[in-house]
Amino acid sequence: MAKPLELIKVEDLTICESTAQMITKAREDGVELFFDRANAMKPCPIGEQAACCKHCSMGPCRMNVNSPYDRVGVCGATIDTIVARNFGRMVAAGTAAHTDHGMAMLELFRDVINGKVKDYSIKDPIKLLEIAASLDIVTEGRDLKAVALDLYHELEKTYTQVDGEIPMMKRVPVKTLEQWRAAGIVPRGAMREIMEMMHRTAMGVDQDYENITKQISRTALADGWGGSMVSTDISDILFGTPSPIEVEVDMGVLKEDQVNIIVHGHEPNLLESMVVSAADPTLVEAAKKAGAKGINLVGMCCSGLEALSRHGLPHAGNFSSTEAVLVTGSIDAMTVDIQCIKQGLKKVADFYETPFITTNYRAKIEGALHIPLEEHEPRECTDEIVIKAISRFKSRKKPIQIPKNKARGVHGFSFEYINYMLGGSFRGSYTPLNDNIINGRIRGVAGVVGCTNPRSKQDYSHVELVKELIKNDVLVLQTGCSQMALAKAGLTGTGAAALAGPGLAEVCETVGMPPILGLGSCVDNSRILVAAAEMVKVGGLGDCLADLPAAGCAPEWMSEKAIAIGHYFVASGLYVVFGHTFPMTKGTKFEKHLFEDLEKLGFGKWAFADDPREMARLMIAHIDKKRLQLGIDKTRERVLLDMADRRELDASA
């Protein structure tokens, strides 16, 4: 029996002070949030371990999670076949989400080049030329449009090609690529890989978990090095490559005396057009006539991270706060596009009389107002949203309660900026990063990414894990809702260096960078892949991605997209820890395959831990193991000794 809702302490649900206040208010208002639903509905114990199959009508077949080899499905499918197929379909879905998003960006790019779309333009022609050149497209002496068109056609292969290798394979370190070729997992094109993944996991097709895993890897790589990477690059070309910018985050960015508009979702084009509409003098004037001091545009989730990185737009919070933000009563419109948009938002928005607007034909919500964003006329949609918000401001009836919490931090790091930051504008380079890893000041690099989840105390594991990593001299790269967790905790500024270990703190001080670098939305995990490939290229840290002293973690994940991301890091050679739950039947051969065998085959591997300190311990142990294999384990002891000596000298001076 679930505990009565009132008895769940708010402090057990979140460490986000604003969200906690809004959960309390929602309870007073009698409004149900997803935290309440998560409590009322315990996860199915069989589904939680991915031990059921409903791929045909002879089933659904439910395995015994306590004794997984006790029985097989009606067709004879074993537990290993069933969990591997379920895992494969999660990867297919996650990959489909990122690649469909990437393809939409690429189509927009094409229409901008063709002149069909005039409201967007090419903001970073240098990046366009660099990417084109890296894909062997001739750029010298040609006009930008011609190069751009060639680039479009080349990148389209990422999605539509049926045979061969996707274009971004040119960025993969040679030895890693050779290993993928030998294993037969180089992606041909995302559509083909997703199609084959779905086919192979249908009833009566691939029933060998090792063979299924190969297609899982090929599909996931089509996401990381394909759909997601193209999405990041094209978004940078169209909307600008981010560089560090100071930004305010948390619900305290909402303003009682302004028209507050929340944009939540994933594709940057909606927010880019919202930015223009919200600054339009006529609309600002209309807002003022309605009694507002102005229009306050605020992002949430990954859309918010895209605009925060590029425009310094304030951000109200991550996935677990999207319902809670409506409870403030101060939101005059919430507009969404695709992904991570809870259907439950509609009911909460209705209660607080907030217009809730869907904008993308792929993601309508029953009962919600739909105002389509047409790329050739985006302002028609976004102006109308602003007008709706102004009229809601005018007729605000519900009491407003805005949490005061607000944190400032630095965001907007990109692969390119890290290059510049480390090496200077004339000799931009990752060499100083590698040098500092080799000399032991930096122990290794970690990616801490992914969602929040109502079944896991919001933000807690993200913050504790990252603190533990930097304390141990591990440089942390962040994306997605995890980045926002640390931002709200006030740990994305240079001040966080005070919590870093002595080696990392020294490097941060010398270079003038924070120990936690926010890289943007979830598709921007591809920036981590590009940075990792560069570290291999620069030299001194082995010759394939699997050699790097690096690890990744999604401590509070919930989306299938996170599984796709985790697996593309594993297939690329990295060690990946997931927290709070894992879609796996314990004690199966498939579990051993993902958690042990893949590493022996030269890939990375998966791991699971519940507690953030345990996650950190596992990641650091892996980093140390790689340091040992690289023969750089001793340098670290020396440098730490040096620093201790120096401090002693300082103290005695």
d(CA 68, CA 422): 51
- Partner residues linked to 576 by β-bridges: 552, 606
Give the one residue of 522, 529, 541, 544 binding ligand BF8; rule: CB under 6 A. Answer: 522
Residue among 81 and 303 whose Cβ is closer to ligand SF4: 81
- Partner from ligand BF8, ligand SF4, none binding residue 559, C-beta < 5-8 Å depending on class: ligand BF8
Q: 358 pairs with which residues across the strands?
A: 336, 370
Q: How many angstroms separate the CA atoms of 487 and 484, rounded? A: 5
- Answer yes or no: are the C-beta atoms of 327 and 30 closer than 8 Å: no
Q: Which of ligand SF4, ligand BF8, none interacts with 55 (beta carbon under 5 to 8 A by kind)?
A: ligand SF4
Q: 44 contacts which partner out of ligand SF4, ligand BF8, none, CB within 5 to 8 A by kind?
A: none
399: tokens are 């009491």
Shortest Å distance, C-beta 348 to ligand BF8: 17
Helix (H, G, I), strand (E, B) or coil at 8: coil
Residue 561 CA to residue 402 CA, distance in Å, equals 32
Measure the CA angle with vertex 303, ends 249 and 228; round to 5°: 125
Among ligand BF8, ligand SF4, none, what does residue 301 contact (CB within 5–8 Å per kind)?
A: ligand BF8
Nearest to 588 by CA among 93, 70, 74: 70
Helices (H), 62-173: 79-114, 125-134, 144-160
Per CB under 6 A, the list member of 105, 221, 222, 301 interacting with ligand BF8 is 301
For the chain, what's the residue count?
653
Residues 6-25 that bind ligand BF8 (CB under 6 A): none
Give the one residue of 227, 244, 252, 450 binding ligand BF8; rule: CB under 6 A: 450
User: CB of residue 522 vs ligand BF8: minimum separation in angstroms?
Assistant: 3
Q: How far apart are CA 20 and CA 66, in angstroms?
A: 37
Does the protein bind ligand BF8 through residue 91 (CB under 6 A)?
no
Which residues does 579 contact at the CB level (< 8 Å), separation at least 6?
456, 461, 553, 554, 555, 556, 557, 608, 609, 610, 612, 615
The answer to whether the beta carbons of residues 91 and 216 sit under 8 Å apart is yes
Chosen from ligand BF8, ligand SF4, none, partner binding at 176 (C-beta under 5 to 8 Å by type)? none
Residues 6 or more apart in contact with residue 210 via CB below 8 angstroms? 593
Of 73 and 514, CB closest to ligand SF4: 73
Asked if residue 561 binds ligand BF8 (CB under 6 A), the reply is: yes
Q: Within a 10 A sphere around the Cβ of 457, how many other Cβ atoms?
A: 19
Question: Which x/- pattern, by CB under 6 A, does the window 452-491 give for ligand BF8?
Answer: ----------------------------xx----------
Per-residue tokens: 81: 């076949």
Closest contact distance (angstroms) between CB of 81 and ligand SF4 is 8
Q: Toward ligand SF4, which CB reaches closer, 53 or 474?
A: 53
Q: What's phi and psi for 19, nearest 5 deg?
A: -65, -40
Instruction: Work out whether 239 is an interface residue with ligand BF8 (CB under 6 A).
Output: no
232 binds ligand BF8 (CB under 6 A): no
Tokens standing for residue 75: 């067709």
Q: Which does 615 bind (CB under 5 to 8 A by kind): ligand BF8, ligand SF4, none?
A: none
- Pick from 129, 151, 295, 302 the residue near ligand BF8 by CB under 6 A: 302
Q: Which residues bind to ligand SF4, rule: CB under 6 A?
A: 53-56, 58-61, 73-75, 77, 82, 203
- The CA distance from 18 to 424, in Å, is 39
Q: To the nearest whole angstrom, how small is the minimum distance from the Cβ of residue 310 to ligand SF4?
A: 45
Q: How far is the CB of 566 from ligand BF8 (least distance, A)?
A: 12
Asked if 250 and 316 count as a contact pair (C-beta separation under 8 A), the reply is yes
Q: How big is the site for ligand BF8, counted in residues (CB under 6 A)? A: 16
Site residues for ligand BF8 per CB under 6 A: 266, 301-302, 318-319, 339-340, 450-451, 480-481, 521-522, 559, 561-562
